[in-house]
Amino acid sequence: MPDRSRVAVLISGRGSNMAALIYASRAASCPYEIVLVTGDRPDAPGLTLAEAEDVPVARLPAPAKGKDLFFAALQQTLEEARVDLIALAGFMRILPAHFVAKWAGRIINIHPSLLPKHKGLKTHAACIAAGDRVSGATVHLVSEELDSGEILGQVEVAVLPDDDDQALADRVLIAEHQLYPRILAEYASRPFDAAWIERQVDGLARRLPEVGRKTSHGSPGWSAGGEKGKLFAIIADQHHGEDAIGLLIKASGLDEMTGLIETQPDKYYWPKYYGVSGWLGLKMNRRDVDWGEVEDWLERSWRACAPHRLTKLMRAAEDF
């Protein structure tokens, strides 16, 4: 099992979702650990609870004393704690664009409505006023636009005829406490999930012309020039006792392969059996996979394997 993802929870108040994340992380099988709780209110009750639970807490000066100062201090604190993911749990402050960009794909939020419905504040009152029969909660990635990033998971909660916003909020909160730890665990596990990796590679590979699917000794692969074409990429999921879930691609030759493997052993490896046939292994079960780089490798490998008629067409299109 890979190391657990290091999660910082950001709160502004009570911190009941934070508590749900902490208690779920106590299970030995949980793929994340809470390494820091902090927020924009040094007096938030949730911080006291986290301290009592022996979770490291940083009481940062409130942003009222300088927003830039606050986010600079937050950034430093997160870096010192070597945080992989940030979980917002009732953090009632809009993050500046530069902060969101720095942590792109690594900030998760919980919102008490079925997004895209009822963004922003007073969601329960808005839900009742709209006459909705169902409400719920959403866990999503944070993007620059408020409450609009990719939805990772949702749970529905029935609205009862005599619900007021407090009664509804209380019930949605119970659902939030179930949803958030589950979705955070799924998200933390994603980089190590071979099926998820394969779906991402498939999405990128299919952008290339005439790509087919076929297998190589049972491993999923992609071929250039349709299903009958030559394989240009293979996923080797911990083959023959290897640690890596590897994407095997064609480099220019043995010199390039050995150079890459020697200088960047965290990223590249010599795949058993496949290495001798010129396949280079790119380790995909890492938190810091650069998908732009994966796309470049797929294209290079495709070019090396595609039939002449296709590469000629590609070159003609590029020269145009």
Whether the Cβ atoms of residue 233 and residue 222 lie closer than 8 Å to each other: yes
Q: How far apart are CA 256 and CA 258, in angstroms?
A: 6
User: What is the layout of strands, in order, in the sheet containing 211-216?
Assistant: 211-216, 219-224, 230-237, 245-250, 279-283, 268-269
Whether the Cβ atoms of residue 180 and residue 89 lie closer than 8 Å to each other: yes
Q: How far is the CB of 66 from ligand GAR (least distance, A)?
A: 23
The site for ligand GAR (CB under 6 A) is made up of 11, 13-17, 46, 89-90, 110-112, 173, 176
240 is catalytic: no
Q: How far is the CB of 207 from ligand GAR (least distance, A)?
A: 35
Residue number with the smallest Cβ distance to ligand GAR: 90
Q: How far apart are CA 24 and CA 61, in angstroms?
A: 29
CA angle (48, 49, 53) in 5-degree steps: 115
What's the per-residue H, E or C state across 41-84? CCCCHHHHHHHHCCCCEECCCCHHHCHHHHHHHHHHHHHHCCCC
**Of 126 and 289, CB closest to ligand GAR:** 126
**Of 141 and 304, CB closest to ligand GAR:** 141
Q: How far is the CB of 11 from ligand GAR (least distance, A)?
A: 6
Q: How far is the CB of 71 from ligand GAR (least distance, A)?
A: 18
**Of 11 and 185, CB closest to ligand GAR:** 11
Residue type, 192: F
- The two beta strands, 230-237 and 134-141, are unpaired
Q: How far is the CB of 297 from ligand GAR (least distance, A)?
A: 39
Q: How far apart are CA 90 and CA 92, in angstroms?
A: 6
**Of 137 and 245, CB closest to ligand GAR:** 137
Q: How far is the CB of 108 from ligand GAR (least distance, A)?
A: 12
Token pair for residue 169?
A: 């909020």
**Of 137 and 234, CB closest to ligand GAR:** 137
Question: How far is CA 60 from each of CA 35, 86, 183, 250, rounded to the nearest angstrom?
Answer: 16, 16, 28, 49
Residues 6+ apart with CB under 8 A from 134: 114, 156, 157, 158, 159
Which of 98, 111, 177, 308 is an active site residue?
A: 111
**Of 97 and 276, CB closest to ligand GAR:** 97
> Hey, which residues are catalytic here?
111
